[in-house]
Amino acid sequence: MSDSQIEEIKNKLNVLEVVGGYVKLTKTGINYRGNCPFHKEKTPSFFVSPNRQMWHCFGCSKGGDIFEFIKAIEGIEFGDALRILAKKAGVELKKMSSEDAKFKTERQRLYEITELSCLFFEKQLEASQVGKEAKEYLLKRGITEESIKKWRLGYSPDTWQGLSDYLISNGFAREEIIKSGLAIAKDGKNDSYDRFRGRIMFPIFDINSQIVGFGARIFKSKDAQETAKYINTPQTILYDKSNLLYGLNFAKLFARKDNNIVLTEGYTDTIMCHQAGFENTVATSGTALTQQHLNILKRYTDNLILAFDMDSAGQNATRRGIDLAQEKGFNIKVIESYEAKDPADIILENPEIWKNVLEKAKPIMDYYFDSAFLKFDKSKPEGKREISKIILPVVKRIENKIEQSFWIQKLSQKIDIKEDAILAEMEKIKIAMPAVEQNSPELGARTADEKDNSRKAMIEEKIIALVLKKPEDLNLIEEKCYQYFSENAKDVLDKIKNKENMDAMALKAEIQYEEDGGEEISVCLLELKTLELKDRLEKITRNIRSAEADGNYEKVKELMVDFSSISKEL
């Protein structure tokens, strides 16, 4: 890969566009600010500079260009980041030489397998007899031809090695197919068989619309009575169901626009919602809502509408997901009832009904109150107790004390029990609270790795930042002033002289320091000199005491002269 193509990609993509696809950013001066996606923080310390085409977090110190961001956010190598950004920029990468091909990443090979497999499944849906029947089934469910193409739906033939033979004929090894999750190794044999047989195939995309795995619904399989209705790709280096939300690649822009996301449980539900114009909809991929899911969702909105069956067998898992979302500060609404129908069925009947259902979604606290009072008799002592057991743990999780007080007051009124008694009962409740988040350092504070919090270190940092903001001000630091700086600071100033890249510090200067650099540098230099002289006086004082203790009065006399000279200078 030539440097010219890398530069071409950088020239065609704006760092704001790339990072903004993952992180909610707000304009602050000439830069943009948001919560860092790489560590937990309450105070935003993550900045993007369109002028410098860079990003930097002053909390965890990560930073760089668009390539570094994609590598970090997707957990991939440079080659994979290059392909993602080239596709986004519309740059066709030059073919690799035979030498380069040897170093093609394992991830890229798996991406190629999943893409080729998707093409195979799409072809089967159109060409095979059973595939055509599967397509007819999808059309009857209300999924249009356009949606079938958009979501790249397909069919896996009910054969043991149809897909594997096709992939092997295209140059992929059996071991690679097994690693992709598309085949299962036979015990004790150098052989395998296809994982998905006789199923309608739903490709699962990552945030960049690359296929990382598949969900598969049974359709006319020979062993349909013995297999699960839905199965998914197992965990691979591409596919992690705890870190993927089906449809987010299509929904992310609409989630930002609408400032909310609707979470469903099924692939078909999500497709039908998008088809009907509810394009801020995603689905969990065969798992309950996880911490990783919430971290991803937080990039786009703080408002969630849960289209889950709250009375299903998985209610405990759903409740845990809701608890996690509350702990992360999401505003949550719940669709209380589907009237025994899934979102896809409601939309097939009439999209307007689903629109009304969404509009009537209940705030999560209202849902808990209503469901608790429906289940138990508030007029009886045992009913009051059971209602409190449902509601109080949820109230205790609320961080805002004013909001918490509101719900305690409401509970008090509804069960006719004094607030003091309810508060006392809530104190007894032990709940698993989230790990305490350390507030990210305020901009300008020292990071965890920088133990030296001395005044001197902060002044040095400010001088360096101001010089980076206006490099010609480096001339204000006379040669004799360098003696006041620490060795680390001297090293940084030398690098600036040599024009090494110090963009992160320059960005910090733009954000934090509005004052005139020249005047402020002079003030800082004077303070540095003062600190240095005070430090010398302290050392001389210690030496005088030591010389007096040894009876070396000649040494005391010499030191007193030095002390007097420095005192005058100070």
pLDDT at residue 169, rounded to an integer: 95
Check: CB of residue 331 under 8 Å from CB of residue 303: yes
Under DSSP, is residue 32 helix (H, G, I), strand (E, B) or coil? strand
pLDDT of residue 505: 62
Per-residue burial over 369-382, b if 16 or more Cβ lie within 10 Å, else e, is: bebbbeebeeeeee
Q: Is the dihedral of CA 89, 95, 99, 102 positive or negative?
A: positive
Tokens representing 530 are 């003062």
CA 26 vs CA 49, 65, 390: distances in Å: 12, 19, 38
Task: Return the closest-CA partner of residue 360 out of 350, 352, 348.
Answer: 352
At 312 the pLDDT is: 57
* Residue 180: predicted pLDDT: 96
CA distances (Å), origin 118, targets 122, 167, 467: 6, 11, 54
Query: What pLDDT, on a 0 to 100 scale, did the predictor assign at position 225?
Result: 54
Successive 10-residue mean pLDDT values, the chain, 570 residues: 76 91 88 89 88 88 91 86 89 67 72 96 95 96 96 96 95 94 85 94 92 93 67 92 92 88 94 96 86 87 86 67 85 76 90 93 91 91 93 86 92 94 90 44 36 65 77 78 82 66 62 60 76 83 83 81 76
Residue type, 534: K
Cα torsion angle, 295, 297, 301, 305, sign: negative
> What residue has token string 């230099």?
525
The SS3 of residue 177 is: helix
Q: What is the pLDDT of residue 504?
A: 65
Give just the sign of the alpha carbon dihedral 190, 195, 196, 201.
Answer: negative
Please, is 217 exposed, middle or buried when counting C-beta atoms within 10 Å of its C-beta (0-12, 13-18, 19+)?
buried
User: Do residues 115 and 96 lie in contact, with contact meaning Cβ atoms separated by under 8 Å?
Assistant: no
Give me 400's structure tokens.
């805002």
What pLDDT shows up at residue 538? 84
